[in-house]
Amino acid sequence: MALRLDNLPNAQVNPMANDCLFCKIANGDIPARKLYEDEELVAFWDIAPQAPKHFLVIPKKHLSGPAAVDTDDEALAGRMLRKGAQLARENGVESFRLVFNEGAEAGQTVFHLHLHVLGGRALAWPPG
C-alpha cells in the first residue's frame, strides 16, 4: 500500500511537529536511506523518485514550507542549497534541478520545508 502524504495538515512553524513525516525522519523515528546528516540538516533518497537521482534535503527544525522561512532561517535555507549541490556532485550528478514547492497546488505533499534535488537524466521545461 502506498503512503498517502496529501492529507497531512499544514503544520505551524515550531521545532518539531509531532505528526510531521519529515520531523520523524529527522528524529530517526522513521527510517530513510540517508545521504547526509548534521546538527541542522538531513538528506535522504526520495521514496518515489522522479529522476534517476532524486533526494531531499530537509532542516531538522520544522518549517512548514518556503513561505515560513524567516530572516532567522536564511542561513539555514542557504545551507540547504549548498548541501544539495554538494551532494549532487558527490553522487555523480553534474547537472541537476533544485526544487522547493509551497502549497498543495504547487505540488507540496509534506508540509515541512524540503529541497528536491533531481538529476541523472535530461529534465524538460516547463516541469508541469
pLDDT in tens, 45-68: 999 999 999 999 999 999 999 999
Question: Is 11's pLDDT higher than 50?
Answer: no
**Catalytic residue (choose from 54, 112, 114, 116):** 114
Q: Which residue is listed with cell 521545532?
A: 15
Average pLDDT on 88-114 reads 96
What confidence score (pLDDT) does residue 4 get? 37
Residues for the chain: how many in total?
128
Instruction: Give the separation between CA 69 and CA 29, rounded to whole angstroms.
Output: 25
Domains and CATH numbers, the chain: 21-119 (3.30.428.10)
pLDDT band at 127 (very low <50, low <70, confident <90, very high): confident
Which residues, at least 6 apart from 27, have a Cβ–Cβ distance to it below 8 Å?
Answer: 16, 60
**Maximum Cα–Cα distance for the chain, whole Å?**
40
Query: Cα–Cα distance between 127 and 112 in angstroms, integer?
Result: 22
Instruction: Tell me whether residue 112 is one of the annotated catalytic residues.
Output: no
Q: What distance in Å separates the CA atoms of residue 45 and residue 32, rounded to the nearest whole number? A: 7
Of the chain, the percentage scoring pLDDT greater than 70 comes to: 85
